[in-house]
């Protein structure tokens, strides 16, 4: 089993943490999003699949998933080539939960 990592950001408390996912059922952002939806919290997830970084066409797409209270449904969207940048972060998923008190920008930078 390939270990995957997720960056968890709490926008309300401004805290973050990186966790290692050991669930063999999580193969990509859609699976991870469905697991997060079961917790019943508001979230948005940016992620890439296990094949990102490979030479296979289409594997560099960044997937965004979440649950819309307005539509009352789980949704997803993708952006071609955007996973190239995320590959450098060292995480497969970025989960943002909560809400900032004011309009904010989240800067994510890998420090080595």
Q: Is the pLDDT of residue 41 over 80?
A: no
| Other CB atoms within 10 Å distance of the CB of residue 4 | 21
What single-letter DSSP state applies at residue 45? E
Q: Is the pLDDT of residue 112 over 70?
A: no
Please report, for residues 32, 64, 67, 70, 73, the alpha-carbon distance to residue 76 in angstroms, rounded to integers and kept in the order given. 12, 5, 9, 14, 10
For the entire predicted model, the pTM comes to 0.87
With cut-offs at 50, 70 and 90, classify the pLDDT of residue 84: confident
């Amino acid at each position: 089993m390939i270990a995957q990592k997720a960056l968890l950001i709490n926008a309300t408390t401004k805290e973050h943490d990186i966790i290692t996912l050991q669930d063999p059922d999580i193969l990509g952002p859609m699976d991870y999003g469905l697991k997060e939806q079961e917790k019943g919290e508001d979230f948005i997830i940016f992620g890439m699949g296990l094949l990102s970084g490979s030479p296979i066409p289409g594997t560099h797409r960044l997937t965004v998933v979440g649950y819309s209270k307005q539509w009352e449904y789980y949704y997803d969207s993708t952006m071609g080539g955007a996973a190239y940048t995320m590959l450098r972060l060292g995480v497969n998923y970025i989960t943002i939960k909560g809400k900032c008190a004011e309009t904010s920008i989240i800067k994510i930078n890998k420090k080595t």
